[in-house]
Amino acid sequence: MLSCNSCNKFNFEPRSKHILHRISKILHYMHTYDTVSQAVNGLKKRGYVIDFNLEKDSITCRQTPISLSPSEFEIAEVYRFEGNSDPADEAIVYAIESKHGHKGVLVNGFGISSSEVGDEMIKKLSVHYE
């Protein structure tokens, strides 16, 4: 039987209490942002300091020699912003963590096309929306 001492104030079954406690912990650590710049600044404050750029088969940092193929990084967080009146305001902000310990931010407009980016990269970046 699972138990969670901090959930005993509710009259739920022990397993339900534990699940609710785990969900509340996850929600506590989730961040919400109203704008792209707030998301980028918030991620930078939390250690995502590298500015990544999207290339055909990799993400790169122009200030450093870092270049990561899709198999070398994971997407830790995703924030999607839709422009209310101007489609140019639409963007996706990715928090990126490499297998080498690098943490950074990738900002990309909507509408990745296969002519601009390789299939493996499209699959990696779109996995969070399926």
User: Residue 67: helix, strand or coil by DSSP?
Assistant: strand
pLDDT attached to residue 27: 47
Short-list 123, 121, 95, CA closest to 107: 95
Rounded to two decimals, the pTM is: 0.71
Quote the tokens at residue 88.
């140019």
Instruction: List the domain boundaries for the chain.
Output: 1-30, 32-129
Mean pLDDT of 36-58: 94
Quote the tokens at residue 39.
């998301």
Amino acid code (one letter) for 7: C
Quote the tokens at residue 1.
């039987």
pLDDT attached to residue 1: 36
User: Residue 18: helix, strand or coil by DSSP?
Assistant: helix
* pLDDT tens-digit map of 52-107: 999 989 999 988 899 999 999 999 999 988 877 666 668 899 999 999 999 999 99
